[in-house]
Amino acid sequence: MPDQEPADQLASNIRQLNSKITALQTTVRLTGLRDALEDLTTSVNGLTPRIKDTRARGYVFGKEMEGKAATLAHQWTTLRIEINNRIEQETYLLQSALRPIEQQLAELNAISAVPYQARPFYDRLSQAVENLSGKVSAAENNIRGMYNALQGEVNRIIASLTRIDWLLAQVAEASFQLLAAEGAIMAVKAVWVKDGKEDSSDPRGVLYLTDQRLIFEQKQEIATKKVLFIATQKEKVQRALFAVPLALIEKTEARKQGLLGHEDYIYITFTSGAPMANAQLHIDGQDCNEWQGLIGRARTGDFDQERAVPVDQAATEKVRTAPTKCPSCNAPISTPILRGMTSIKCAYCGTVIPL
């Protein structure tokens, strides 16, 4: 009986070794890499039609996307051939290294009932399996290194397109309309914190940044009836609570708050003429520093350089030649005039002035 436990343990080890070698029969063919290459090919080939769809839905920025997609497709066509050749070479070498291991495994299984013979045989074979597993991992890492940079570029474009898809979906179902010459840049889920401390009464919705305005749209279900603090009736509320021209933004500040600084806030100070002096917005799922940068670039007109669809010159000309004084009361026009506006209203006498 004293020898029974080691014999049982050895038998268990041999069964595990059989399983490892069975797995190796798949991994030496580098199947995972082959699948990864197919997935990457699908992703690369899908970029151009996805960008085309994005344009059709109204996204006018990121003019470099088409060129990047075409360049990546061209690079991948050449690189994929090189990688496939490398995979075939490595597969041949690894399969050649596996064959003697498979032969030795058959011999080990034949003597497995004799522990004193099987133990040293098992130890040598186990080490050979570990060595081959290491070679498989090294081959996979080396081959992945051949396309990691391209994969990263593809992933970045896909991530950007995913955010743009969400932006366009929100714009399509918004309660407001963009101006005729206005382009949506980005959108994010947000809470408008009204009194400095967020609570359940603060409106929740979507913060939009366009090349002309910053817009917050409340978009939430609000309880209209409660029983024992449980909502039994709800009403969907969707309405734009503010739409401020970028020209009326004086300053933006990004702040990381909350536990461990994981909550993103944007603090906005407006100039005179805006509907409020400031706004505090808790954004969800995007970085506040990125948003501060986006708002800054939009304010300086930087996104006009990234347009795939040029700015409508007629709309630009209307802004340039717009009246500076009200024709009725001669008061100065204080409201910023945006591209796509068809008229403005005098803040003093209420006269509607066509553009």
pLDDT by residue (tens digit) across 131-153? 999 999 999 999 999 999 999 99
Domain at 184-305, CATH class: mainly beta
Closest Cα to residue 135, out of 89, 94, 96, 95? 94
Q: What is the average pLDDT score of the chain?
A: 92
Mean pLDDT along residues 275-293: 96
Residue 228: what pLDDT? 64
Closest Cα to residue 245, out of 313, 353, 166, 341? 341
Residue 183: strand, helix, or coil = coil
Closest Cα to residue 311, out of 63, 66, 69, 65? 63
The Cα angle at residue 118 between residues 114 and 122, in degrees rounded to 5: 155
Torsion of CA 102, 107, 108, 113, to 10 degrees: 150
92 vs 157: CA distance, rounded Å: 35
> Which amino acid does the sequence have at 337?
I
Mean pLDDT along residues 67-90: 97
Q: If 0-12 CB within 10 Å is exposed, 13-18 middle and 19+ buried, where does residue 61 land?
A: buried
Mean pLDDT along residues 2-28: 84
Model confidence, pTM: 0.85
- Listed by start position, the domains of the chain span 4-172, 184-305, 312-355
Q: Is the pLDDT of residue 223 over 80?
A: no
Q: Cβ neighbours of residue 179 under 8 Å, at least 6 residues apart?
A: 212, 338, 339, 340, 341
